[in-house]
Amino acid sequence: MIIHTTAVYVLWLREMKRFVRAKSRIIGALAMPLFFLAFLGLGFNRMGVPGMARDLTYIHFLVPGIIGMSLLFSSTFAGLSVLWDREFGFLKEIMVTPVNRVSIVIGRIAGGTTTALVQGLMLLAIALLIGFKIPGPTSFLLALLFMLLITTTFIGLGLIFASVMKDMQGFGIIMNFVMFPMFFLSGAMYPLKNLPGAIQVLSYIDPLTFGIDGLRGVLLGVSVFSVPVDLLIMAAFSVVMVVLGTWFFEKSESV
Per-residue pLDDT of 74-130, as tens digits, reads 887 777 777 776 666 666 666 666 667 777 778 888 888 888 888 888 888 888 887
Looking at residue 92, its pLDDT comes to 64
Q: Does the structure show a pLDDT above 90 at 17? A: no
Please list, in sequence order, all residues whose beta carbon lies within 8 angstroms of the beta carbon of residue 138, skipping any fewer than 6 positions away. Answer: none
**Residue 88 has what pLDDT?**
61
Which amino acid is it at 144?
A: L
- What is the reported pLDDT for 195? 80
pLDDT of 133 over the 50 cut: yes
Mean pLDDT, rounded, for 236-246: 90
Question: If you average pLDDT over residues 174-178, what whole number do you get?
Answer: 78
What per-residue confidence (pLDDT) applies to 255?
44
Radius of gyration of the chain (CA): 18
Q: For position 190, what pLDDT does the model report?
A: 82
> Which range has the top average pLDDT, 43-47, 53-57, 65-69, 98-102?
65-69
CA atoms of 128 and 246, how far apart (whole Å) = 37
What pLDDT shows up at residue 25?
Answer: 66
Percentage helix, strand, coil, to 5, in the chain?
Answer: 75, 0, 25
d(C-alpha 35, C-alpha 37), whole Å? 5
- Span of 23-32, 175-184, 234-243 with lowest mean pLDDT: 23-32
Task: Give the residue among 231, 229, 236, 183 at the shortest CA–CA distance from 206.
Answer: 183
Q: Does residue 200 surpass a pLDDT of 50?
A: yes
- What is the number of domains present in the chain? 1
Percentage of the chain modeled with pLDDT above 70 = 79
Whole-number Å distance between alpha carbons of 13 and 8:
9
Q: Amino acid identity, residue 202?
A: L
Residue 38 carries which DSSP code? I
The C-alpha atoms of residue 149 and residue 90 are separated, in whole angstroms, by 28
Query: Where is pLDDT greater, at 46 or 197?
Result: 197
Per-residue pLDDT at 180: 86
Give the mean pLDDT of 61-65: 87
For range 238-251, the mean pLDDT = 86
pLDDT for the residue numbered 147:
93
Which range of residues forms the domain containing residue 100? Answer: 5-251
CA within 13 Å, CB half, 159? 32
Rounded-to-integer distance, Cα 28 and Cα 172, Å: 15
Q: What is the per-residue pLDDT for 90?
A: 62
Region 197-218 average pLDDT: 90
